[in-house]
Every structure is written in structure tokens, then in C-alpha cells.
Chain A
């Protein structure tokens, strides 16, 4: 792992008086997909929000592409090349699909070839281009949230539980999209659906109680059921 893309070293995050992240150590190599697993409340979302600068780390360092981004304002972190798909999707419901995408492309009009590629990944977006995002179904909103993150090339995508509450057909489309996406960029994916995670992930990190408790190759974890049981326990049974 020479020259990692993203490194969290001993990161602590407080939300109000609560001590949520308690020394997170995470290293993301360049390229491919790292999946962050862990039961509900382990601190996965908080980790992504800390990378994005939406929570400020109270201790530790966050290094992205050689730059210390811990404590930077969120817009600066985004401009450094990180795109974020939050758990809530956060599409702008009063804006059209087109307007959501226009804002996502910071540096000007979206490249038409790239837009065609996005439409090929998520055809529904083309169809609903001029519709307010608020009328989309949950799965379509998720597609828009992902499309927004890739409207322009970014160095790192942070994607938080994209399959939550999404219909199986759309999950299949998402697997194809992510498989293509991870060829052009680095992805840190938070996921509860282990089958989905195992089919896409190159690397895996498991969180519990605000710490990383396991790091390794996804293939190793996928083969080792005893390790899955120990690390992920019941959380696997409750999700597909």
C-alpha cells in the first residue's frame, strides 16, 4: 500500500458531548473499492461525514492525496476531489433532475459524452430529466444521488448504504454501475448487504464501537465464514 489515497490515523470525532469515533485507523489504496462494514451504530456514517468535514475530528489526522484535510471546510474537501452520496441521498427535491446535475458539475456544463455514459448506467435519469427530483421513487433518487457524485470525474467517492430500502432490480443495476465506476475512481462504500458488498469490494474494513476492528482483502473475508460470524455476527442475518 505505497502512497495510499486516503488515510485516517487515530481519528476521534465528538458529536456534541458524545464520543463517537474512538481512534479510527483506515487506509484506502488508490483504485478499487473498499467496503466499510459494521453493525448499526458502529460509526460508519460518522466516519464518512468526518472525512467530508461535516463533523470535525477532535483528534487524529485525515490525509487525502497527500494533503491534511482534517478540519478543512467541507467545500474545500469537495473541491480537493471527494464526492459524497449521503445515507439520506439528499437530492434537492424542488429542483429538477437536470438542475441537480447542473449543480453537481461545478466546473461548467456537463460533458455530453459523460452524461451519455451516466444515462447508460441509470436510464431512468434521462427519462425524468426535466422532472422535480421530489417525484422520483426511492431507487431513482438513489441513482440521482450517485449520478450527482460522478457528474464530473472525482478522485474518491464516499457512498453510504446505497441499497438501503431499494428494490432488488435497482440493486442489480447498481452492481453493474459500481463495477464500472470502480475502474475509473476509488470508492469507499458503506454497506450492510454483505452479498452486495462481497460481489464488488476489493478491500474491506469492519467497524465496531467507533473503531476499525478488521482490515483486509474482501476475498479473504468472503471465504472465511467463521470470521464473518465473529466480525459481523447477527447483522448479516438481518440483511438479505
Chain B
């Protein structure tokens, strides 16, 4: 991988730090470009908010996976399992708390949702930890085996869901107070979408704080750049990796709960369709880059929502085109991570 050549400086000259804001402008440009095609501003706002909500869900799911790849070059095709397990765990909790879910009171609804999310995240976090120890650990450094065995793990997880929760499609009802929309001017914005955006932003900010302000975060960033050097400084990168894997799995569980509530239905294969977008997002963002992942997720979700409205038949193809275009501009993704 390439590192930008150091500028020629005299010993006394302070180097100029280049802040790379260009990728941040892409979602702005894309939404502006979509406006004349969509025509109706109200529709455009609705589509854009839908895209932001969907983008945040994709980001929550993808953020851990990009670090997992960045840290140890591990290709995990089983990530979708945590989406499904998280959603089913939440389904069960919400079922038990149906009184809190059905009452038209935001406080009770959020409490039920909070409990469901906690159980989902703890469950998928533990499952992720076990998944790493049992399935991923034996195949460090072997990409083909990683792909095969993690896909195998995904299939096993789906079958276990069939056994535990049954193979039929489940309804995942939104808590009462979160249904419907709020009117802002003459634009109706679904309440759940606002919640999804808020959750995504909180997760993003929390990740930035951890990555930039804590020692563990520094180690993760350093490890994504050069894991070997982190070890040579005396840190056990594998222990760090297991932790990142577990947290990434818990975030996928959180994303799974949100995704199921968004679609209001649920099957064991729920992770499948979103994972295609997640992989596109990780590649667009730059493998191992959380910031790139965030912007990539918004771009992909915008593309999906605008084209679903304008040209429904090419929704997925448009995102593959988007990926190709971005990789032609920046072959390592929006924010390439400096690698050894």
C-alpha cells in the first residue's frame, strides 16, 4: 500500500497538514444532483431522510467489520449472522414486554426497546467472541479458508435460528409511540427514521472518541496501519482483535434490531440483502477506515433510495456502479488507511 510521500521540508519548516474534506462533499453533491431528477422537493426530503436512516443502520453494521478487516486482514462473511441473531433476540424480549411495547407512551416504549437492544448486543457480543475463538482463530492469515468457514458459520447460525425461533417469517412491530410520522412543514418524517439517525450518529461519535482519545483506540488505529509493529512495541494484538470482533458483532446485533424494526418483518436470512451493501460500503470507505465507512454508508443508502424511486430495476446495480466510480477516483477507497 502506498503512503503519501513526505513533503520536502527544510528541518525548520512546519509541514502543511492536508485535511481531506472532499469525500464529505460527496453525499451533499449526490443529494443535490438527485433533486432535479426527483422533481418534487417534498418527495426529495422524504427520500433523503430515508437514505440517512438506512445509511446509519448500514454504518452501525459495517463499522465493526471494517476494523476487523483492517486489524488482522480477516474476511468475515459470517457477519450477517449477528444481524439476524440480534434481531431475533430483540423479537423475543419485545414479545415478553408486549405491554410496554403496545402502550402509547414513549417512555415505556423506549424502555422496552432499550432492554431488547441490550439483550441483543450482549448476546451477539458473546456470540461474536465465541465465533472468533472457534471459527476465525484457526484460519488467521488464510483468506480462502476464512471465506469458506465464516460462510459455513453463517449457515449454521441460520439453521440454529430456525430451530430456536422457527422457520416462518415473523412480524416485528414498532412500539406504538414510534409508529407514524411527525410533520415538519408539509414534509412527513417517520419517527423511527429520526431514531435511527440519532442512534447512528451516537455510535459514530462514540467510536471517534474511543479511537482518538483512548489508549485502546490508539492501539486499534496503529494496529490497522501496522499490526506487526504494535506487537513489536509489546502489545498483544490478538487480544485487541478479539475485543474488536466482539464489539463489532454487538454493533451488528444493534443494527439487526434496527433493520428488523425498519422492515417490520424478520427471517433468518435478514442479514443477506443488507450485507451486500455493507461490503460495498466497506470497500468504498477504505478498508479499516471508520470515517470512510460512515460516508460510504450514507452514499450507498442515498443511491439505493433515489434509484429505488427513479429507476427501481437498477437499485443494486447503481451501487455497484457507485463503487466502481469511487474506486476509479481513489483505488483504496475514500479514506485509504496508511499501510506498512
Contact = CB atoms under 8 A, between A and B. Distances in A.
Nearest to B224: A94
Range, interface on chain A? 35 or more
A135 B337 CA distance: 14
Interface stretch (A6-14, A102-110, A183-191): A102-110
A51 B218 CA distance: 26
A137 B226 CA distance: 19
B221 A92 contact: yes
Contact of B228 (A90, A103, A134): A90
Nearest to B6: A137
A71 interface: no
Nearest to A141: B6
A150 interface: no
A99 B234 contact: no
Interface in A53-106: 54, 73-75, 78-79, 84, 86, 88, 90, 92-95, 99-100, 102-104, 106
A144 to B, nearest CB: 12
A106 B234 contact: yes
Interface residues of B, number: 31
A222 interface: no
A103 to B, nearest CB: 6
A75 B337 CA distance: 24
A104 B338 CA distance: 19
Interface stretch (B11-19, B137-145, B172-180, B297-305): B11-19
A75 B236 contact: yes
A74 B233 CA distance: 9
A92 B231 contact: no
Nearest to A81: B234
B222 A103 contact: yes
Contacts of B15: 128, 131, 135-136
B228 to A, nearest CB: 6
A54 B6 contact: no
Interface string A130-166: 0110111110110000001000000000000000000
Contact of A106 (B3, B235, B338): B235
Given A93-B225, A94-B337, A78 B233 contact: yes
A221 B234 CA distance: 36
A52 B175 CA distance: 57
A54 B225 contact: no
The winner among A88, A131, A137 for most chain B CB atoms within 10 A is A137
B236 A95 contact: no
A54 B221 contact: no
B9 A148 contact: no
Nearest to B338: A93
Interface in B192-244: 215, 218-219, 221-222, 225-226, 228-237
A78 B232 contact: yes
Nearest to B11: A124
Contacts of A95: 218, 221-222, 225
Contact of B232 (A84, A136, A137): A84
Contact of A104 (B7, B17, B225, B233): B233
A135 B6 contact: yes
> Which 7 pairs of residues, A with B, have the shortest CB-CB distance?
A78-B234, A93-B338, A135-B15, A90-B229, A74-B231, A92-B222, A84-B232
Interface of A: 52, 54, 73-75, 78-79, 84, 86, 88, 90, 92-95, 99-100, 102-104, 106, 124, 127-128, 131-132, 134-138, 140-141, 148, 169
Interface of B: 3-4, 6-9, 11, 14-17, 215, 218-219, 221-222, 225-226, 228-237, 337-338, 340
